[in-house]
Structure 1
């Protein structure tokens, strides 16, 4: 190839030379910009990575701390196991149902062995959950006091006359009087007094069955210490003139039943006796004899 012809390719006019120069400058600026921008991103990525590593280490530390935490297991009264609680303990549906059916009869289990007899759970499950059982203090005390006494070596004592216990009026009993009864503490005594105050007084010792937390054994102890005397100061409800608000305050009449009583009275006239009230839907018939003593039909 002729050298002169080659040189002709590199001959530019003034305008062409300026264009080539500016093109070169633009390419140089782009290259520098790409270098610096990419470098910054690398630095930022490096910083972000360090931050994430620090956060990850914190998560790992928290995870290790959580795995080392030992959760405290709380004791509970097995008489009040719910469906969910029984499921969490590993009981089957049938075993839970047996306990609930037993409780519906107003009966209580007072030992781990009795719990197994009622629910029919396996020995292995009983060994796991029995250490968590907590029975009332009076159950424990009752067992401790049932010690064998050898009366053969005891001197024979002859009683000429059996001393008869004097029963007090439960409507006049104080909290201190109630706590003296075996199986009743501060909480139960307050429930009894609160119920007496809301009713204006008890009319039957059978009402002790309605105090939550009283077992049949403790109720027997109450009956051996207290009785119901005539309560002339008992303020009765004028069932034929009382308002809805006044009737609904009576603990045996819930608000829906109180509305039914008002409706029945407005449509059928005054109530003559408790038999008229029994006709109302939702009336607690099993408590009619007690409720009647709190009502005035005149």
Structure 2
């Protein structure tokens, strides 16, 4: 309320000045109301309501405190239902402010993840080249295997007199898994070396030494173990032999049989 006190001076001049002053006050009030209205109508993320915004929206201190407490725990409001549960705001007020809620796009439109595709080509057995015929040059140019690794693969294949199975590539020292996978995406053993599997339960030390993975001492230890235990029912039992590693048992089994 504005009080006017009579003072000396021209009454007309003072009246005009007061009228102008009152007009300015009215204009300021009008502008303030317009700003308040425009502020209310602007969409917002309910996770970031300031005290002033809460006041404009009509939220109570208690409702705002519930929201702030929830956010301090690192939790997020992701829906109108979440806002209602957290703040316990009245349904009537919720109905008014809900149209103003603006959630991040990733909430409204969840990201669609692309299905994983192998970076190596998928080829059928017929489409692949023969691993027993691949050259060192091909491995270097097509697989980008270092020259010394490519040569190591060829020399090892020659020592085996040809691969029996793809898994024997695991024996190559220094061959990284991605190179191993890439080789097998383009090559496979199409002409496996013909071998006669050895019956481990009846084999002599000499016969066991024919397995590429056994030296004389290993063959002797296996023979002794077989004799002491009246044979084995699976190749994993060889792991009971002191110092025997089952790391290559899947390759060793390519040359053996149990009966």
Is the shorter-chain TM-score for this pair beyond 0.5, marking a shared fold?
A: no
Q: Structure with the greater relative contact order (CA < 8 A, sep ≥ 6): 1 or 2? A: 2
Give the TM-score normalised by structure 1. Answer: 0.38
Greater share of residues in helix: 1
Please report the TM-score for the alignment, with normalisation by the length of structure 2. 0.42
